[in-house]
A and B are shown apart, each in its own frame.
Chain A
Amino acid sequence: MAKQIHFNKASEMPDVSTSLGDMDWNKTGAWRTQRPFYEDKTPPCSVACPVGNDIAGFIQKIAQGDVEGAWNLVKEENPFPGVCGRVCFHPCESKCNRGRYDEPISIHGLERFVSDFASSLGRKIKKGSGARKEKVAVIGSGPAGLSCAYHLTRLHYEVTVFESSSFTGGMLRIGIPSYRLPKEVLDREISEIETLGVEIRTGIPLGEDLGLDDLRDYQAVFIATGAHRSRGLHIPGEKGRAVLSGLDLLRQINLGKHVRLGDKIAIIGGGNTAIDVARSVIRLGKRATLLYRRSREEMPAFEDEVMEALEEGVKIRYLVNPIRIGQIDGLKRLECLRMELGEKDESGRRRPVPIAGSNFFIEADSVVIAAGEEIEVSFLPRGMERRDGLVLTERDGSTGVKGIFAGGDLTSSQRTVAHAIGSGKKAALAIDCYLRGKDSEEAIRQILIGEGPAISIFRYLHPDERPRSPHVVTFEELNMDYFEPSKRRREPRNPIKKRIRGFGEVTSTFPEGIALEEAERCFSCGRCNECENCYVFCPDASILKREGIFSRQVDYDFCKGCGICFFECPRGAISLQEEAR
């Protein structure tokens, strides 16, 4: 190696001045004023994912053609990729760095693809081994409950889920219509959870047949009973005939029950339930008009779904507020007030204010009220604190009652599937900590994705894996020279005429080739994917390969600290730090 050459006499020198040794003795690392080092960071998409999916990770697997690997990674964090890929409103995509360049990655589309493609390969999740002696009871088989049960099983607990109805899946089954979420997909993902070893017992409601006292055999309980009580409008006539609750109607349609409805349906509300009711009744051959008291901008329903509803012929009347439901010649007669928008309220939306004397009438065969859902409190244990119609919990899901945790719609005003799954996962971790006598706050801090709120249970299970800095990679930290503009791929969509003829799924899953193309658009923000740019451009051959294999190691004996590797990394996976002088 570092061979120094000495000549004692002139005669020892070669006749021609030929070099006799290399320069390896010259440790140019001593010149360095700044030090590059490999440091995986946090992509913004996964910070925005309430589930805590390893988005960059699974997308890179798809890009490498390893869909099975992608599925394994997804399933580390999320038992419901097929569900989420379809119905999650994908907040990840609005934070995707690619959106700053051209269009965000279709993360939901890829998540859905992974789930469907893996199932077509006959992928089955491996059964966990119930090594721990403690048993945990989960109340409610919605996404929150099942996510908690799934992760607890993976943490080797024996878990029993108690579900009041005869169906599993909660709102996923009775709320979300099958044109958005086919029942086969839900069944498939729930049966994977059961295969893992989760026992689900249906027809056992907490409070009636089952008291908390009956659960003494269980060392911890997770309650996720959701929000299933339709909120009333508190206007005269709402209890009358041919006035239905949106959730009841959806439940009947979703369970394949025959519903008796007139032809012209007025739906009161502007949330997802209202839209789902409208689109469902359109599919039953009815006419649907939504009455919403604010304007389109304030509508809580997701933009895409409002669009699809309009396409399918749903009428929406904005700034209309029903104040009385009357009856005229077998028709329902809604007395309404016109509204205008006033000051912002606490939700940041402009408050609707009635215009005095603007009363008018709308007629319909049936009226559906979809004004939101409330939680059921009668069976909740004493001592469980509540506020604003929600059960209060710490961020780990603990309720203040020892050994009892809660999550999902019961505890959160952010009522989405992804939040429910995320809260179930967090509770699983907290229950593990509780049963082992560990500090759950500390455990959560260790595995937060970025600054949170979501956590990575993969990191909890594999603490020795490659560490990741919580630093969230910004668009400016990427090197766009390496990416050509390209269009976001869209899922194929059935023509409107075909859509409204039945409850078949509106969109379809990416074909494999398209999924691959879409995956290749991902920058893999902050996550080295071994593109080897750093190796290619180092002027000092100081990015090491060992036996031809890229090592992600810098040879600090020779690295001069030019920073080329740092700058040319397309994805900000190398950091630069000033050398101590």
Chain B
Amino acid sequence: MRKTEIPVSENLGRGHLACAGCGAAVGMRLTLKALGEKTVMVFPASCWSIIPGFWPYSSLRIPVVHAGFVTGGSTASGVRAALDIRGDHEALVAVWAGDGGTFDIGIQALSGAAERNEDFIYICNDNEGYMNTGTQRSSATPLFAWTTTTPVTRPNENPKKDMMAIMADHHIPYAATATIAYPEDLLRKMEKAKRIRGTRFIHLLSPCPPGWRIPSERTIQVSRLAVRCRVFPLYEIENGISYTIQEQSRAVPVKEYLKLQGRFSHLTDQEIDRIQERVDDEWQHLLRKARC
């Protein structure tokens, strides 16, 4: 096995309030290693509104603007404009929003900004639910998953919204999926996004130990399996049309991924088969897009 090299600079300090084994903490730590300290980050309400610490403290070594839940896209547009007016074209503006803040409540602000091709990186930290407020369902919650608002007697009936396709249809210069088990891929995509101008969208999958009902030490493993079983393929879209897939050598059945997580422990074999079918269909769909 080859050694994974990551930059040594730490822009996430210690003493932060993420749960033990938090995937989003790994994600933030790696992201900031790539984006560097000359980054202004906008945080619409989410777990990461809480994790840095409470006023007057912050464990982040970059400036952060806490923003209203719905306003990721618009606040970042404003921060960018203000910096530009001050002549600071070097500082990078990024948004770090949850899936609730992106797929659901923040989608209009994001869509507006993307349509204007505002110059920032929008990172959707997807933990597949409203985790900060206690694991409610969002439109990023996967099919048949348990959440507190989709109990096992009536699990989530709707498949996960295809946010990447929505962003691709805005024809933004760059959109990519990434997850913490693939740090080199994640760093590369962040660095690539950093070099591009206009709206860049990173869909970052971050397993959540309490919300997904997984032991804290399994976060990385679950992230890895999401990719290997193709629930969450790694790919990039340039200008909304050009797809590149980072194919993995080892594909595993989706069952391997589901069985590690308490939020899927109620699934019947038929339900697992249906999830597998959907995953297979979506994978074929993605392959078709990548081929043309």
Contacts and interface: CB of A to CB of B under 8 A. Distances in A.
29 contacts: A5-B56, A19-B52, A19-B55, A19-B56, A22-B59, A22-B61, A23-B58, A24-B15, A25-B15, A28-B17, A481-B224, A484-B249, A484-B250, A531-B3, A532-B3, A533-B4, A535-B6, A537-B180, A539-B23, A539-B26, A540-B16, A541-B14, A558-B14, A560-B21, A562-B20, A562-B22, A564-B26, A564-B219, A568-B221
6 interchain residue pairs of minimum CB distance: A563-B217, A23-B15, A562-B21, A539-B25, A26-B15, A19-B58
Interface in A536-579: 536-542, 545, 548, 555, 557-558, 560-564, 566-568, 570, 576
Contact of A23 (B6, B13, B219, B221): B13
B272 to A, nearest CB: 22
Contacts of B3: 530-532
A503 to B, nearest CB: 42
> Most B CB atoms within 10 A — which of A14, A520, A536, A555?
A536
A229 interface: no
Contacts of B13: 22-24, 541
Contacts of B59: 22-23
Interface string A7-38: 00000001001111111111110011000000
Contacts of A31: 20
A380 to B, nearest CB: 53
B57 A555 contact: no
A483 interface: yes
Nearest to A568: B220
Interface size class of B (residues with CB under 8 A): 35 or more
Contact of B15 (A20, A558, A567): A558
B1 A482 contact: yes
B70 to A, nearest CB: 20
A473 to B, nearest CB: 16
Contacts of B218: 567
Contacts of A14: 56
Contacts of A482: 1
B78 interface: no
Contact of A548 (B4, B8, B19, B26): B8
B52 A23 contact: yes
B227 to A, nearest CB: 11
Given A24-B13, A562-B21, A567 B221 contact: yes
Contacts, number: 131
A484 B15 CA distance: 37
A539 B10 contact: no
A541 B55 contact: no
A195 to B, nearest CB: 37
Interface string B26-49: 100110000000000000000000
Contact of B215 (A530, A537, A563): A563
A531 B3 CA distance: 5
B57 A22 contact: yes
Contact of B25 (A5, A540, A568): A540
A545 B57 contact: no
B12 interface: yes
Contacts of B30: 536
Given A23-B14, A567-B217, A539 B4 contact: no
A539 B29 contact: yes
Contacts of B6: 535-536
Interface string A494-522: 00000000000000000000000000100
B14 A570 contact: no
B262 interface: no
Interface string A292-319: 0000000000000000000000000000
Given A540-B14, A564-B21, 14 more contacts: A18-B56, A19-B56, A19-B58, A21-B56, A22-B13, A28-B16, A482-B1, A484-B249, A536-B30, A539-B18, A562-B20, A566-B217, A567-B217, A567-B218
A272 B57 CA distance: 75
Contacts of A557: 14
Contact of A563 (B12, B15, B216): B216
Given A539-B22, A539-B26, A562-B21, A23 B220 contact: no
Contacts of A535: 6
B21 A539 contact: yes
A330 B19 CA distance: 90
A24 B3 CA distance: 30
Given A536-B183, A567-B217, A17 B55 contact: yes
B21 to A, nearest CB: 3
Contacts of A23: 13-17, 52-53, 57-59
A564 B21 CA distance: 7
A484 B20 CA distance: 30
